[in-house]
Amino acid sequence: MRKLNFIFIILIISCGRNENSEIRKPFDLNRNLTVDILLDNGYEQLFGDDIYLFGKKIDNINVYYQIDLPEQTEEIANELGFLKLLRDKGVITFKNYQKEVKEEEYSYLKDTINQKRFKVIKLEKGNYVNIKDRFRVVNLKSKDTFNCELTKKNNKLIFNSYIIIE
């Protein structure tokens, strides 16, 4: 009986970790994502001025996906309803990963990027006032390239990793 309880606890813990594993990967992209999958995994629709976003927050990590719609959406939206339109016709075109970090945590995060899985390309910081660091990370398996920045907003350091999905 004790062995069965132990296995049950391990199963619960591992399932919980798997549920959030996608959100904790700033340099991986699941190209099979759909609006339905995002909704099933706890992402919520966020309302912007002229873009459609679905986002999720866990601890100090925010992940957002932008959804684009085909032309003539007003006519289709009247027929299907807006959320159904996003589910049926929406295409995920952008992923943004944000994590609030401390200065020492950022150095650690950047230094521990797995060099066997990813290639880090340094970029010039440029003349941006709020940008503290810029680089790109290439996922060597998928060949996806993520743009990365460390920015300072409201006295907080924010690590961003984003990719335009084509």
Mean pLDDT per 10-residue run, the chain (166 residues)?
A: 33 37 81 92 84 91 90 66 82 94 81 90 84 93 95 91 93
In a domain, 9, yes or no: no
33 close to 92: Cβ distance less than 8 angstroms: yes
In a domain, 97, yes or no: yes
Instruction: Give the predicted TM-score (pTM) of the model.
Output: 0.79
In a domain, 18, yes or no: no
In a domain, 157, yes or no: yes
147 close to 161: Cβ distance less than 8 angstroms: yes
Residue 121 has φ and ψ, to the nearest 5°, of -115, 115
In a domain, 21, yes or no: no
* Residue 150, domain extent: 26-164
Of 46, 26, 24, the residue nearest 35 (C-alpha): 46
In a domain, 141, yes or no: yes
Q: How far is CA 70 from the centre of its chain?
A: 23
140, two tokens: 């060597």
In a domain, 5, yes or no: no
pLDDT digits (tens, 9 = 90+) for 17-29: 344 556 678 999 9
104, two tokens: 């020492």
Q: In whole numbers, what is the pLDDT of the chain averaged over residues? A: 81
**Number of domains making up the chain:** 1
pLDDT digits (tens, 9 = 90+) for 69-89: 877 666 666 666 778 888 888
In a domain, 13, yes or no: no
